[in-house]
Amino acid sequence: MSQYQLPLVQWDTQDLYEHVRGLRGQVWLCAFPNLFITIAPAEWTFPRPYFLEPYLSCVFAGAFLMSLHMYYLVRCIWAFLCARGGHRFFVVYEWVVKTEYQGRGTPHWHIAAWVVSRGLLSRLAGNSKKGVVSAFVRFLQCVFQCEIDVQVGNGRLNYINGYVAKDHDALDVGLGEYVQKSATAPWLATYRLLCKSAPCLPEVAIRMAQLPEFDRSYSHVLLYPPQPAFVLTVEARAKNFSSRMYGFYCQEMQGLLQTQASLTQSFLQWHRDKEYDGSSESVRHGSLRHQQKHRKTPVVSCRYWYELTDGYWGQFVLTQFPHSAPEQLMPEDLHLNCMLNFAGMMEYLGSWTWHSPGVIAARGGVTFSENSLPLCISDLGEIIAVGAYQAGQRVFSTRRRTFEYAFRVANRDLQYRGFRDDRLATFFYKQDANLLLYERVLLCSDDYEYELLRQSWDTVNRPK
């Protein structure tokens, strides 16, 4: 990329929190957790109730009760730590708890959490086995009398990445569709567990008690973003769940524009507090609050195409940038079919002009708030502004700067998803080549040259 740098805006912690709170569908929950706790207890040191003391000389005899005691104690202490008001160390916003089993069968727990630390986040980290302990690690060690490992980081911390999407064991022994909603069959589930694997007694105890081995503070709906070219008509927007939700989004955004109001949400942000009602074929509005007592925080999970395909840009722009109709994301100038969505993205972002401070105007009569755009943060934690306000001027003066902004947003999103540096480098070189080809098509001297490029790329080099 070029050496051009957009201006940096310095915000304090409270301003950053207020800004991010409105973008939780973009960054706050799509980013990976920043705190990871591992609790690995040992039966002979773990705090025991009085009725388990006789089993100290014969640990395996009390393994069944001890496993349940460990489970309830760990979950009880974590319920205290993730309380709404927080504590002296941090405030928990969302969390994931995974129960696993060590080689000898003893359960251990992995906890990934989204937290805001009272002090420096790095001071929470520590490992009791290595002798590097913090005040938080010492607290957990005193409570559980076992090995504690606490790591901090973000989406680039691979130790955290593996447990965010890990919502079940590799071997699923649940009854699933074979059990009616009102029926409970712990004995049948345990029987299937014994038939399919060789579990130890602690795992059997937790399974028979029907305790969840994976739990989280949020519930998610899986969104398959449609391509703009496939939802141009009302009939096309009624084919599946994702297309229907997009149709409701376009309808609501068009209603806002008719009232001379600016858009404040992208499709992904708008979807966060909406639920589709199949019986009435309408949308119900929910709540965006985290740490809710009676329901889980709603989260939208996006399933994008492979990032090196042109379809990725169509889905990414449709979900991340405010608009009111899919036609606004389609290209109007010369373009190749193999880069239809890339060209549409470049044209839509290139049409942005400053309408007023904090408000951007785009083609199609769209105006939207600058705060509705994805939050861009540098590697140093500084917020990168979209651009400097100049009344009536374009937000991006050149195609290169338009591309740099789009790439920066997409690249950061891929980083939040845990992609490694070599894959991100491949993504950049592929998109930079797209930009060169896109500009080459726009500079065609006549129709013959354009037809030559179209046949070369859309026919000969078109991937099958």
Mean pLDDT of the chain: 80
Asked if the model's pLDDT at residue 178 lies above 50, the reply is: no
For 274-293, the pLDDT digits (tens) are: 877 777 777 777 655 555 56
Q: Are 401 and 384 in contact (CB under 8 A)?
A: no
267 has a pLDDT exceeding 60:
yes
Amino acid at residue number 165 = A
Least-confidence region, from 166-170, 301-305, 308-312: 166-170
Q: What is the pLDDT of residue 433?
A: 93
CA distances from 342 to 209, 319, 336, 415 (A): 52, 14, 10, 20
Element (H, E) at 456: none
CB 16 within 8 Å of CB 383: yes
d(CA 162, CA 237): 35
CA distance 269 to 342: 22
Q: How does pLDDT run across 222-245, given as a tens digit for each residue?
A: 888 999 999 998 888 888 888 999
Residue 302: its pLDDT value, please? 84
Structure tokens at 267: 């499709």
* pLDDT score for 384: 85
- pLDDT for the residue numbered 289: 59
349 compared with 186, residue with greater pLDDT: 349
Provide the pLDDT confidence category of residue 194 given band limits of 50, 70 and 90. Answer: low
- What distance, in Å, lies between the first and last C-alpha atoms of the chain? 30
Largest CA distance in the chain: 91
pLDDT of residue 33: 79
pTM: 0.72
Tell me the pLDDT tens digit for each residue of 68-91: 999 999 999 999 998 888 888 998
In whole angstroms, give the CA distance from residue 271 to residue 327. Answer: 20
Q: What's residue 182's pLDDT?
A: 52
CA angle 101/77/124 to nearest 5° reads 85
Token pair, residue 136, equals 């938080």
- What is the spatial distance between Cα 11 and Cα 8, in angstroms, rounded to a whole number? 10
Q: What is the pLDDT of residue 238?
A: 84
Q: How far apart are CA 403 and CA 342, in angstroms?
A: 10
Condensed to tens digits (0 to 9), the pLDDT of residues 416-458 reads: 777 888 999 999 999 999 999 999 999 998 999 999 998 888 8
What is d(CA 258, CA 260) in angstroms, rounded to the nearest whole number? 5
Percent of the chain whose predicted confidence (pLDDT) is above 90: 34
What does DSSP assign to residue 392? Answer: T
Cβ atoms within 10 A of the Cβ of 404, count? 18
What tokens does 187 get? 């004995």
